[in-house]
Amino acid sequence: MESRGRTAAVVLAAGKGTRMGSQVHKQYLELYGKPLLYYALYAFENSSVDEIILVTGPGEVRYCREEIVERYGFSKVTVVTEGGRERYHSVYQGLKAVKNCGYVLIHDGARPCVTGDIIEAASDGARKYKACAVGMPVKDTIKISDENEFASMTPDRNRLWLIQTPQAFEYELVLQAYEKLMSSEEYQGRVTDDAMVVETMTQEKVKLIRGDYANIKITTPEDMEIAEVLLKRNNWEK
């Protein structure tokens, strides 16, 4: 298969998870006897993605390679590399490790409930639109506060989306966007996701692709309880 048609996934597992209140980084906390990170890797391993780049925290490369990749037989993980101080540093390290792929999906390893359908929708979106992000329309009314936490504005809920991952792009497009970001200190502290990097550093528009409300990110202990319920729904406890 020529490189232009190949797809890589960069899975991020470099977060510290300080809001979890645990000494164990959240991506290694166990759900049904397996580390949280296992579930995202499993979804990509069993998708049409050709290779997986796993980005870990400092000093965790060997652990991830031996205790997760090799232990569970994730054959599509071709590279395990160390991330950086901020998320965008880690994404950039992952992108640089991609070889011979025309498209790339970037996913937070702390989203264990990602499904094959979501991955394929993101892959198709990258091919059709060059840049896309998975998300869902918000259910709640959103308020914008002033500096004193008084409500100052209520945006139209019908145009608001809750953005998730994976976010998918033509590889050269997102790599060049990140290269520009890395040389521009002005924007580095402002970007919060990969779509914003592409929006800010290029002229390309990012298409919003519907994912699933169940595709949650594990941030607090309560999220672990929710994830247990969602994974049980898919018979993971067996």
- Residue 194's closest CA among 171, 215, 210? 171
Note whether 191 and 88 are within 8 A (CB).
yes
Note whether 169 and 130 are within 8 A (CB).
yes
Q: Please report which confidence band the pLDDT of residue 1 belongs to, taking 50, 70 and 90 as the band edges.
A: very low
Q: Is the pLDDT of residue 38 over 70?
A: yes
Q: Please report which confidence band the pLDDT of residue 2 belongs to, taking 50, 70 and 90 as the band edges.
A: low
Integer Cα distance of 165 and 215 in angstroms: 8
Residue 85 neighbours by CB under 8 Å, 6+ apart: none
Summarize pLDDT for 193-211 with one digit per residue, the tens: 999 999 999 999 999 999 9
**β-sheet with 7-13: strand ranges across:** 77-82, 51-56, 7-13, 103-108, 161-170, 131-137, 207-210
Q: Which two tokens stand for residue 71?
A: 């232990």
Burial 59-96 (b: 16+ CB within 10 A, else e): ebbeebbeebbeeeebebbbbbbebeeebbbbbbbbbe
Computed on alpha carbons and rounded to an integer, the radius of gyration of the chain in Å comes to 18
112: left (phi over 0), alpha (psi -120 to 50) or beta: alpha
Beta bridge partners of 82: 56
Integer Cα distance of 109 and 36 in angstroms: 8
- 77-103 mean pLDDT: 95
Q: Chain-wide mean pLDDT for the chain? A: 91
Neighbours of 192 (CB within 10 A): 11
* Predicted structure pTM score: 0.93
The SS3 call for residue 74 is coil
- 181-204 mean pLDDT: 90
Of the two residues 185 and 120, the one the predictor is more confident about is 120
Q: What angle do CA 55, 61, 67 make, to 5 degrees?
A: 105
Q: Please report which confidence band the pLDDT of residue 28 belongs to, taking 50, 70 and 90 as the band edges.
A: confident
- Residue 11's closest CA among 72, 97, 139, 130? 97
Q: What angle do CA 44, 73, 98 make, to 5 degrees?
A: 50
- What's the confidence (pLDDT) of residue 18? 44
Burial of 48 (0-12, 13-18, 19+ CB in 10 A): exposed
The residue whose two tokens read 């996701």 is 193
- What's the confidence (pLDDT) of residue 29? 87
